[in-house]
Structure 1
């Protein structure tokens, strides 16, 4: 498996072997009321081009609070057998589903292979929008019921998306001792999505609450890009987690990353694949 290069890979590869599981942090221990110190001057998010609250015409913090209230429903139990025979097949399934998911919304490819005749194109659109959903609706419902899939489940990727929309890099951050450059937020986003995929395949990460794991993923993304500091009061205010709250989960995520991609998880030097920034 080739090493992850965020400059070339939009869909990063997934891991293989699980590290030792870390204990699940109870909901009651979450620092969901983290506030900025009275003496601290908040730093302005770096790289944001729009206010997500204005775009959606809603207070997105309410959405985040709602996700945190229901997230416990989607945390797997603490007990599982790391030697279970189904785990390797689960990894293959997650890998396959990730690849298929990346291929399905390829609108550009569908347009390029559409019939050249406008009349045929309209007929194709009608068929896709009308007949196909009706044909597969009952089958999809049966599969969902049989597999006990919950489409409204909260996953770390949802929470990471919220964090990114509010800004997880700041004007006071430093990259290799210098001010941030324009591409940094984009690479933080790529790394965050990469870590979401990586932790999705490994079952031991299912023990963490989605917001807890998502916060650790943001920290891991900042560390992977050698951003300083790795956590700041602004992020504690955004996520509700202090650095000490997510440090064990971060160590779990980053050690698994280092295990799967040796030589690409240095915490002291900038990764080689971003030196061309």
Structure 2
């Protein structure tokens, strides 16, 4: 979805349409016997998305297709990466410009370097898997995702009357930049664990904004204009926000220790690119506030986020 619908005059109507559509999403049970491998597939998708400069809408749609397909059908162990590859390929064709279409050789090159996948997949295998996935979803890809809601909420995510640590905002643009980076980080978190499938995409998107405002110590945490735009009270967001903040705390702890935890071994593609999800340097040692950003030569510093 390349059109910036959140800037359109009928953005409110589009938002209501997306909210209506998400109410018809099928329930996610998380019963797949291959659930243990999900994290590796999601991280691999993040690597590919970052490497080929794909949009977050493609990434979130691909993970959605992957989750709900695996929730109903068991895939041969040797074809799990083929499934992830097909889900991303479908998403890119649906969400991106035609010049972003992924090449099979490039995708095979990104596969983890172990013997079962050393030769990669054929064009026929990828095409057959794509058709299988499309048939499973009845060729309907108009699916609301977190990445579609977040830009709409970001429009009013920071207000001139907000306070940081009880003090007025000195530079709104710096605050907006920092909050956007935090929000991107929490969007990545929302893909990491299937527990977030318990919440609707719009609620997760609103929670990303709320968690970012908490991280930046912005007050009020959930001002009235955000409540009115999202149609969510802070009490509705807190269960999801608390999960995000627990993941954030865990990332902070991982960034301060080495080596990486054994239960999450890094996926190592053929070209030795390290997964951003496992990079202990991607998370800042301390909370980054807009004041700190402006103190560093007046140039906003990027918040260390997954996949950035």
* TM-score, reference length from structure 2: 0.54
1:74 alignment partner, SS class: coil
Q: TM-score, normalised by structure 1?
A: 0.60
Query: Deviation string for 1:23-56 (max 9, x for gaps)?
Result: xxxxxxxxxxxxxxxxxxxxxxxxxxxxx77954
Is this contact kept in 2: 1:75–1:207, CA < 8 A? no
Taking the aligned partners of 2:196 and 2:49, their CA distance within structure 1 comes to 21
Q: Against the structure 1 CA distance between its residues 224 and 75, is the aligned structure 2 distance closer, same or farther, given a 3 Å change threshold?
A: farther
- Contact 1:224 1:271 (C-alpha < 8 Å) held by counterparts: no
Larger relative contact order (Cα-Cα within 8 Å, sequence gap ≥ 6): 1
RMSD: 3.4
1:90 aligns with 2:38: yes
Q: What 5-or-longer segments of structure 1 have no aligned partner? A: 1-51, 107-126, 265-269
1:276 aligns with 2:267: no
| Runs of 5+ consecutive residues of structure 2 not aligned to the other structure | 55-97, 105-122, 256-284, 294-308
Match of 1:172 among 153, 161, 171: 161
- Structure 1: distance between partners of 2:188 and 2:26: 17
Equivalent pair of 1:176/1:227 in contact (CA under 8 Å): yes
For 2:160, what is the secondary structure of its paired residue?
A: coil
Count residues in correspondence.
194
Matches within 5 A, 1:64-213: 64-74=15-25, 76-77=27-28, 79-80=29-30, 86-105=34-53, 141-142=130-131, 144-145=133-134, 148=137, 151-164=141-154, 166-180=155-169, 181=171, 182-213=173-204
CA offset at residue 245 of structure 1?
1.9
Task: Describe the superposition over 1:115-162 as per-residue Cα deviations: whole angstroms up to 9, x where unpaired.
Answer: xxxxxxxxxxxx9799x89x9995574253266485321111211121
Q: Which has more radius of gyration?
A: 1
Q: Which moved more, 1:151-160 or 1:60-69?
A: 151-160
